[in-house]
Structure 1
Amino acid sequence: MDTRYTNVAIRPPILDGTNYDPWKLKMSIYIQSIDSRAWKHVLDGWSPPMRDDDIPGLKPRAQWTADETTSSNYNAKAINSIFTSVDMNMFNLIGTYTCARDSWEKLQTHCEGSASVKKTRMLLLTSKFEKLRMEENETIVEYNLKSLSNEASVLGDPISNERLVSKVLRSLPKRFHTKVCAID
């Protein structure tokens, strides 16, 4: 058995405000690797338990059920992951949140913008995708459509593999074209 990687610590990616798209993808996997139920709390949210009696307000921790404590722990895993994966500027945006979903959404709105901004970004990305052509001296490996595809996925509108393949085939420079000879 290869043991070179058994003691490697898994660290979350760090969000510095300029790398949100890859950070978001990496963080979703990072949190899921810690616990899929922690990721569920990022997606669905969490609220501290409320009192069951006639007194309004939060339930004291000593009165939490086992399920309420477990749910709180999953939220804590998720929010800890988020807090430790951002620089101080980003932390200042989210440091007061107690719910992982709230901090995730605040970062998303701050870095991606509102729904209308995301729509505009997607329109610009689509235009860039359509205008992109492979240069004569460029190799297929260098012709990186995957970054555009990843960005579209982050914005919630992934580009299908069929569309990517079609784009590559339409964009190939003349040196990749072959002549078809008809045989009489």
Structure 2
Amino acid sequence: MLDQDDDSLLKSKTDWTVDEVQNSNYNSKALNAIFTSVNMNMFSLITNCTSAKNAWDTLQRNCEGSESVRRTRLRMLTSKFEMMIMEESENIQDYDRRLQEIPNEAFSLGDPISNE
């Protein structure tokens, strides 16, 4: 909220609307889910974040890198798929497991690969 001099001030919790209380609860739940889902190294990166959006963006930036890094990783996955062959020492289940890692990783990078 703004004071008489148009300076930003934090609004007292007693003055929050129903929507603001609900959004605060959603943020707390999301932030708690993020905190409990990461390892200690990642937790140390986001421990000072007060919003789930900020924590998520920090993790995304540190885990995925920039957009150019993401595109490079997707190109590497495409090349890996095109060059993939079944090794003589592996069975069909092991080969299928290696093959399924490629679309799973592409999906995590935001570019799902269809089964076709």
1:30-86 superposed Cα distances (whole Å, 9 cap, x missing partner) = xxxxxxxxxxxxxxxxxxxxx166552221111001111011101100001111222
Amino acid at match of 1:146: Q
Q: Who is 1:147 aligned against?
A: 101
Which structure dedicates a bigger proportion of its chain to helix?
2
Which deviates further from its counterpart, 71-80 or 129-138? 129-138
- Structure 2 length normalisation: TM-score? 0.86
Q: CA deviation at 1:138?
A: 3.6
Q: Who is 2:113 aligned against?
A: 159
Q: Who is 2:22 aligned against?
A: 70
Tell whether the 8 Å contact from 2:46 to 2:59 is kept in structure 1 after alignment. Answer: yes
1:116 matched to 2:68: yes
Amino acid at match of 1:154: S
Q: What CA distance in whole angstroms lies between the structure 2 residues aligned with 1:137 and 1:81?
A: 41
1:55-134 paired onto structure 2 within 5 Å: 55=6, 56-134=8-86
Q: What CA distance in whole angstroms lies between the structure 1 residues aligned with 2:30 and 2:89?
A: 46
Q: Which structure: larger Rg?
A: 1
Tell whether the 8 Å contact from 2:45 to 2:58 is kept in structure 1 after alignment. Answer: yes
Q: What CA distance in whole angstroms lies between the structure 2 residues aligned with 1:61 and 1:69?
A: 8
Q: What CA distance in whole angstroms lies between the structure 1 residues aligned with 2:40 and 2:114?
A: 37
Secondary structure at the residue paired with 1:160?
coil
1:17-28 paired onto structure 2 within 5 Å: none
| Identity fraction in percent | 55
Which deviates further from its counterpart, 88-97 or 102-111? 88-97
Q: Name structure 2 gaps, 5 residues minimum.
A: none
Of structures 1 and 2, the one with the larger relative CO (CA 8 A, separation 6+) is: 1
Q: CA deviation at 1:89?
A: 2.1
Secondary structure at the residue paired with 2:20?
helix
